[in-house]
Amino acid sequence: MTREHDGGPRGWSAARKGVWSRLRLTSLRLRLVVVFGLVALTAAVSASGIAYWLNREAVLTRAQDAVLRDFEQEMRNRAGALPAHPTQDELQHAAGQMAGSSQRFGVLLVAEDPDGRTVYGSSGGLGGFALGDVPASLRAAVNKEQKVTSANRYPYHLYWQRIVDGDTPYLVAGTRVIGGGPTGYMLKSLEPEAKDLNSLAWSLGIATALALIGSALLAQAAASTVLKPVQRLGVAARRLGEGKLDTRLRVSGTDELADLSRTFNSAAEALEKRVADMAAREAASRRFVADMSHELRTPLTAITAVTEVLEEELDSEGGGIDPMIEPAVRLVVSETRRLNDLVENLMEVTRFDAGTARLVLDDVDIADQITACIDARAWLDAVELDAERGIHARLDPRRLDVILANLIGNALKHGGSPVRVSVRETDDELLIQVRDHGPGIPQDVLPHVFDRFYKASASRPRSEGSGLGLSIALENAHIHGGEITAANSPEGGAVFTLRLPRHTPAPTGQTTGAAGAAEDEGKDAKRDV
The Cα–Cα gap between 155 and 484 comes to 112
Higher pLDDT, 312 or 177: 177
pLDDT at 13: 55
| pLDDT single digits (tens) 153-187 | 888 888 888 888 877 888 899 998 877 778 889 88
| pLDDT single digits (tens) 460-483 | 444 555 677 888 888 888 888 899
Out of 10-19, 36-45, 131-140, 513-522, the most confident range is 131-140
The Cα–Cα gap between 397 and 404 comes to 10
pLDDT at 455: 64
DSSP string, 368-426: HHHHHHHHHTT-TTTEEEE--TT-EEEE-HHHHHHHHHHHHHHHHHHH-SPEEEEEEE-
Higher pLDDT, 110 or 287: 110
| pLDDT single digits (tens) 192-223 | 888 888 888 888 888 888 887 887 787 777 77
| 505 pLDDT tier (thresholds 50, 70, 90) | low
Burial code of 211-226, b = ≥16 C-beta within 10 A, e = fewer? bbeebbeebeeebeeb
- 57 φψ region: left (φ > 0), alpha (ψ -120 to 50), beta (else): alpha
Which residue pairs from 51-56 have beta carbons closer than 8 angstroms and sit at least 24 positions apart in sequence? 51/204, 52/197, 52/200, 52/201, 52/204, 55/197, 55/200, 56/197, 56/200
For residue 408, the one-letter residue type is I
* Predicted TM-score of the model (pTM): 0.46
The answer on pLDDT for 126 being more than 70 is: no
pLDDT at 22: 47
| pLDDT single digits (tens) 322-361 | 777 777 877 887 777 777 777 776 677 777 766 767 788 8
pLDDT at 512: 45
Q: What is the mean pLDDT of the chain?
A: 78
Alpha helices in 185-324 (DSSP H): 191-241, 256-315
The sign of the torsion formed by the CA atoms of 87, 89, 90, 91 equals: positive
Q: What percent of the chain has pLDDT over 70?
A: 83
DSSP string, 448-503: GTTSTT--S-TT----SS-S-HHHHHHHHHHHTT-EEEEEE-TTSSEEEEEEEESB
